[in-house]
Amino acid sequence: MGPLFVHAPYLVNIGSPNPEFLRRSRELARASMAAADEIGAAGLVVHAGAGGTGEADHARSRAAATLGRILEESGDAALVVELMAGSSGAVASTFPQAAALFSEVEGGERLRLCADTCHLFAAGYALDRPDGVRACFAELRRTGLAKRLVLVHGNDALFPSGSHRDRHANVGDGLIGPTGFAAILSDPAVRRASVVCETPGDTAQHRRDVETLRELAAGPWVTSGRLRHNDGPSSPTEMGGEPS
pLDDT tens digits, 174-212 = 999 999 999 999 999 999 999 999 999 999 999 999 999
Q: Quote the pTM value.
A: 0.89
pLDDT band at 225 (very low <50, low <70, confident <90, very high): very low
How many other C-beta atoms are found inside a 10 Å radius of the C-beta of residue 161? 19
Long-range residue pairs from 108-112, CB within 8 A, at least 24 positions apart, any chain: 108/67, 108/68, 108/71, 110/71, 110/76, 110/77, 110/78, 110/79, 111/67, 111/71, 111/78, 111/79, 111/80, 111/81, 111/148, 112/43, 112/78, 112/79, 112/80, 112/81, 112/148, 112/149, 112/150, 112/151
Domain count, the chain: 1
Q: What is the pLDDT of residue 238?
A: 33
Is the pLDDT reported for residue 224 higher than 60?
Answer: no
pLDDT of the residue at 241: 33
DSSP 128-167: TSHHHHHHHHHHHHHTT-GGGEEEEE--EESS-TT-----
Domain of residue 49 covers: 5-240
Q: What is the pLDDT of residue 219?
A: 77
- 3-class secondary-structure state, position 188: helix
Nearest CA among 105, 100, 190 for reference residue 146 = 190
- pLDDT band, very low/low/confident/very high, at 1 (cuts 50, 70, 90): low
CATH number at residue 70: 3.20.20.150
For the cut 70, the answer to whether the pLDDT of residue 162 exceeds it is yes
User: What does R_g of the chain's alpha carbons equal in angstroms?
Assistant: 17
